[in-house]
Chains A and B, each alone.
Chain A
Amino acid sequence: MPRTRTHVLPGFQLSLGFTLFYFGVLVLVPVAALTFRTFSQGLPAFWGTILEERAIASYKNSFGLSLLAGGFDGVVGLVIAWVLTRYDFPGRRALDALIDLPFALPTAVAGIALTALYSPQGWLGKLLPFKVAYTPLGIFIALAFVGLPFVVRTIQPVLAQLPVELEEAAACLGASRLLIFTKVLFPAVLPAVLTGITLAFGRSVGEYGSVIFIAGNIAYYTEITPLLIVMKLEQFHYPAAAGLGFFMLIVSFFILFLIQILQTWNARRSGGRA
């Protein structure tokens, strides 16, 4: 009895069916609703929403600061990854485990903790001559906190798998340690660094709980885009909220796409071993 689709292992229809159903109900239908709502008042209204002055001010925080924090994490993360993979010292395991802390801490907890540290009466806030909390600097620190593990964890495997022979060969040829780093090692980890930064950026762009407390949410100054969405929803401006949400979703898709490309590049450059 010829069948057109035959599988050796059981459960194809059940598992795929349930998976697609779950996705459909949770993601696809809601995203369709979002798209519909976004353009329900026409394209000009959409542009009006996302190009509003307040929205643009929020992009500077959500996107701009995420980029800066990503870059910062890129540099710091590289050093940390270097130290963790190349040196041995007491407390190395603990340091390594601490990197995952932002993943372990719920965002609201991180948010209030960072505020406790950097508010003007905070542990660090009172030691510093300038304001950190309730300024974009505070947002920057929160985003750097959130993004650091992405960078470190992306660079570590690549660094660990770099063949030692590369450096030894360069050293035999008379290169100084610094030269070896800039000409041999850094180019080799660059894909990983860029991938890590993009991951951190992608995550930071949508970050809410860690940022909302330390930001202070001062209009046009320290507002982030997700906050604007929340505000519009509270005011029942559904199309406007949808518009901003749609915009952020598009950006997320674009970042996801970019990440896939970077990861392929990264895998190829570092020998493709996972």
Chain B
Amino acid sequence: MANTLDQIFVLLKHWIVAYFPLALQPVVGILLSVVAIIATFPALFALTTVIERKGLGRMQNRIGPNRTGPFGILQPVADGIKSLTKEDIVPRSADAVVHFVAPLVLVVVVFMGFAVLPMGRNMQLVDMDAGLLYFFAIGASAELSIFMAGWSSRNKYSLLGAMRAVAQMISYEVPLLMSTVAIVMITGSLSLVKIVEAQNQYTWGLPHWYIFTPWGFAAFIMFCIAAMAETNRSPFDLPEGESELVAGYFTEYSGFKFALFFLGEYVGMFSISGLGTTLFLGGWSAPLAVLNFMPSWIWFFSKVMLSIVVMIWIRGTLPRLRQDQLMNFAWKFVLPMTLLNLFVAGLWRFMGEGILRWLVCSAILLGVYVIVGRTEMRRRKIGPRSYRYAE
């Protein structure tokens, strides 16, 4: 019974596919999975906008939307109707073709990332050998659409926002990739399905998730930082900062194209949370061995929604980073720590089982973190705040 519930979507797909002639069956199977993905994640996006606005509202000591439906649940419906009925304004000097294509490229590229995520047991769209590499390749293509949006608007604010966004994204792409290389090293495969299966073992009832190892924990923190920077999410949202650049690279977009950008950004958040869940939090495996009776896809989506809630929480809490602080942080701190993490992961693998490897690896990582942190802080003289007034 538990197994049926676990595999219910797979069984449903096989049942529908059986109605078609043999030649069409692979195509229909793929189409069904694609339709399921395209239906699920925008629905989650709608839920997330409500959670975000209510959550941010409560964190900022105000009530969020509460007019549309009980607790503002129907707000996404209102937003959707608004964005569909707004006039689509394209500036006269804007580059019409590129202006039109930019949100399309973003949405297509962001949805393509879901093809390799295992959302449950046997529930990935494609089981590629180089799945992780595919995901990062697709993520790299998203930066191009942001540049296209900023440049085609012929607006200085948009161009500035686009340049900042692209610089930020390429800076943080290196720590993002390097923090996952340790996982690949230990698992021995780039396939996301195999990475989840390697984490699906239990010792004394506790799972073998990579976040519970010293190098995995460090890599998870760096992955989270880089993921928030990649999706232009606070505290890294200078490119789209509302108080800085009007709206950054999507200043000149109105109506449905803005909704597409918004959708693309949030679905990108889901995508990278899904990847983080797969790599570090064990994907679809349950936290305790006794909880395996619950379906695997419930665990995957719970972990993804938990990551989204943490991202919203961080947005409401931390102040925005300045552009040079951002870049300094990426190149001078996060990147060397990822390289050190690789070394520590290799040490972990070759030290063999036992308590010694836990102590040595944790000591190395903590020691370097404290020392590098203190060294960087000593150079900045942080004294009492001084005010300069216009005379």
Real complex partners, A and B? no
